Structure 1
Amino acid sequence: MRFLALGDSYTIGEGVDESERWPVRLAALLRERGAAIGDPRIIARTGWTTDELSAAIDEADPRGPYALVTLLIGVNNQYRGRSTEEYRAEFAELLRRAIGFAGGEASRVVVLSIPDWGVTPFADGRDRAQIAAEIDAYNAINRDEARRAGARWVDVTGQSRDAGADVAFLVSDGLHPSGRAYAEWARLTLPEAVEALGPASAGAAPRPPG
């Protein structure tokens, strides 16, 4: 089965090895359950906003159907001070495209919430409460659009806030998540991914160790 992951720095895994990216970890967890799924095709880059991701998808021209599609985008819209109205329109269009890549099956699309970078050392001297409020507003939009479309939604924002400034959950730039954080994101996403894949993964016996 094929897996497409769309996003920005959080999906490409800025500062971590390829094996530590959360979509790669998620695919590994699915295989441990017996699902025959390959490593994800990732269309993501640090700094991308919704419109930049859309343009990159145009250039990459992925061809579905994919058994699983994930979408995590918006932090750079928030960071650049773009409006929630613009985010809603552009996110909804990206979600529509993601569903198309999933063969028109919205239940095979999993949206992840935007983590809160305001809790990290990178945000020192900034208005952390304002960042949190804006992240919450963006996440209310992506959650609402996901549910409206019939896609799945996973909250990783809580994990990011619980980890806070813990260096174990951050890479050296004091901003981006570490492999340990991404392992948690993969764990949180796993139940929805299992449901998205249906009988192809659910009920499969985990492989024995060794």
Structure 2
Amino acid sequence: MCKYTFILVLCFLLAIPAKLIGQHDAIPFLALGDSYTAATSEKKVNSWPVQLAQILKKKGIKINSPEILAKAGWTSTDLIENMEKQQLSNSFGLVGLLIGVNNQYKNKDIDIFKREFPRLLETSIALAKNDPKNVFVLSIPDWSVTPFARFKDKKKIVKELNNYNSIIEEEAKKRDVLFIEITQSSKNAAVNPSLIASDSLHPSKKMYKLWAKKISKKLFK
């Protein structure tokens, strides 16, 4: 390369806004789910996807702020329908999935989840550049320990959630997708009220932080 060509290239690079340099290297992150992913009763900045991205950035990992597709009350059926409406691109470098609690809460037939969760998992892999290594799934938290459930059949809740989580773990392993267990940590809310949001049901920012830290330790080893 001659001297003048080099100078022209250098001037061109210097003219590019700094924020655009290396931007393409940042990992696009998609978080899918329900109220637990949407951080119902908390600020979005306190959700586990946002806190996870912040932790990873502090570790020196370039990752975009998460794109969150989740809403309170969504079942696996609702998530499938809304994913289809969004027409998401297959370009995410990281996809997180947490779904199923509303299937259990609304007394949906668990066979529906058995059919739909694999479909959600396959779609998540497709969105993650068809690489299962770019996907992780979380177990469903135990909401039986919350004040909201004080008059509910707690044993029934735990038993049913265990059945749902068994499906999640099994289907994840079949596809070589990372399964991260957060149910046990959610049980700490039984003795630590600060882990529950003001609505007496959903996690607080402290609980989400615990999840985000655990997830961060499992990723990018």
TM-score scaled by structure 1?
Answer: 0.90
Residue 170 of structure 1 aligns with an amino acid whose one-letter code is I
Q: Deviations over 1:2-44 (max 9, x none)?
A: 0000000000100111210000000111111111101100000
Pairing of 1:149-168 with structure 2 (within 5 A)? 149-164=175-190, 166-168=192-194
Q: Deviations over 1:116-158 (max 9, x none)?
A: 1111000011110110010000000000000001100111100
Taking a change above 3 Å as real, the CA distance of residues 46 and 194 of structure 1, as seen in their structure-2 partners, is same
Q: Work out whether residues 110 and 192 of structure 1, in 8 Å CA contact, stay in contact via their aligned partners in 2.
A: no
Paired position in structure 2 for 1:200: none
Paired position in structure 2 for 1:173: 199
- What is the distance in 2 between the residues matched to 1:57 and 1:165? 37
Q: CA deviation at 1:165?
A: 5.5
- What is the distance in 2 between the residues matched to 1:121 and 1:32? 35
Q: Work out whether residues 71 and 111 of structure 1, in 8 Å CA contact, stay in contact via their aligned partners in 2.
A: yes
Query: Deviation above 6 Å: which 4+ runs of structure 1?
Result: none
Pairing of 1:196-207 with structure 2 (within 5 A)? none
Whether 1:133 and 2:134 are equivalent positions in the alignment is: no
Highest relative contact order (Cα 8 Å, sep 6+), 1 or 2? 1
Q: Aligned to 1:115, what secondary structure does the other structure show? A: coil
- What is the distance in 1 between the residues matched to 2:164 and 2:55? 29
Whether 1:20 and 2:46 are equivalent positions in the alignment is: yes
Paired position in structure 2 for 1:62: 88
Paired position in structure 1 for 2:112: 86
Whether 1:41 and 2:71 are equivalent positions in the alignment is: no
Q: Residue 113 of structure 1: which of 139, 146, 153 is its match?
A: 139
- What is the distance in 1 between the residues matched to 2:191 and 2:29? 32
Paired position in structure 2 for 1:122: 148
Unpaired runs of 5+ residues, structure 2, are: 1-26
Q: CA deviation at 1:61?
A: 1.4
Paired position in structure 1 for 2:18: none
Residue 169 of structure 1 aligns with an amino acid whose one-letter code is L
Residue 31 of structure 1 aligns with an amino acid whose one-letter code is K
> Which structure has the larger Rg over C-alpha atoms?
2
- What is the distance in 2 between the residues matched to 1:157 and 1:164? 12
Aligned residues: 195
TM-score scaled by structure 2?
Answer: 0.86
- What is the distance in 2 between the residues matched to 1:193 and 1:4? 15
Q: Aligned to 1:194, what secondary structure does the other structure show? A: coil
Residue 116 of structure 1 aligns with an amino acid whose one-letter code is D
- Give RMSD over aligned pairs: 1.0
Identity %: 38
Q: Deviations over 1:143-196 (max 9, x none)?
A: 00000011001111001112226320011110000000000000111122224x
